[in-house]
Structure 1
């Protein structure tokens, strides 16, 4: 069975999302523009963590991770600057009303890049602050030196360097 591109796209709802009507034929340039607008995204600027325990999470990211507070809109919405990105700490119910992630369930993994020798330095600093490492500094087969640990909500954090 031979299937053309339009049939594949409409199967996955792309035709409806891009405004291509059934039976309509888009020109080459229209198709390229419609198909690549999302592929032009180049930065992840904001990561929002929905905290189960806001005070513990704030202490962790401010005191342990030493992330500079960018701004606090109110006690349940704080933003930390990490390089060119923001890590936002908030709670469920302000914008979204999903059920909270059950305790002990992994919700997100964040990876922070440093220089190669800093992976071991970060590990020592974390241990000195009483943080249990899930995995000590390790050279991985994918050419990263990594260490893994968790925040108070159980999210996995990685500090890594290219090696």
Structure 2
């Protein structure tokens, strides 16, 4: 079994495409019929207009602030500086986390949390 896609239901597709392309830095592939896809390495990452999602799910889809998209970067501090320079408010960080990441968090246009992370030595071992 493998994860094939991660799809976020978004309010304004073009605004979210701009965020994930220009702020996050994912390689934009295409948009078609309310759906946009990015090259995110081994998993397909996509956005779908929330207003169109009801026919897929059989019910209205409400905005979700729960969940998180994690993007691994080479240098989280440089990433944070770039985000601040672009006017993106930071939710937290940069901060070292005990599980072995240095992270910075922002919110996308729909309130989904996006974490940028760099691997660092773990401060605590797994049990």
Question: Structure 2: which 5+ residue stretches go unaligned?
Answer: 121-127
- Quick one: distance in 1 between partners of 2:78 and 2:4? 27
Q: Which 4+ residue blocks in structure 1 deviate beyond 4 angstroms? A: none
Q: 8 Å contact 1:109–1:158 — kept in the other structure?
A: yes
Q: Which of 1 and 2 has greater Rg?
A: 1
Normalized per residue, the structure richer in helix is 1
Q: CA RMSD in A?
A: 1.7
**Secondary structure class of the residue paired with 2:83:** helix
- Matching residue of 1:157: 114
Residue matched to 1:54 = 13
1:134 aligns with 2:91: yes
How many residues matched? 117
Output the CA distance in 2 between the equivalents of 1:53 and 1:99.
16
Task: Give the TM-score of the pair, scaled to structure 1.
Answer: 0.65
Asked if the contact 1:133/1:148 (under 8 Å) is kept, the reply is yes
Checking the alignment, whether the CA contact within 8 Å between 1:101 and 1:107 is kept in structure 2 is no
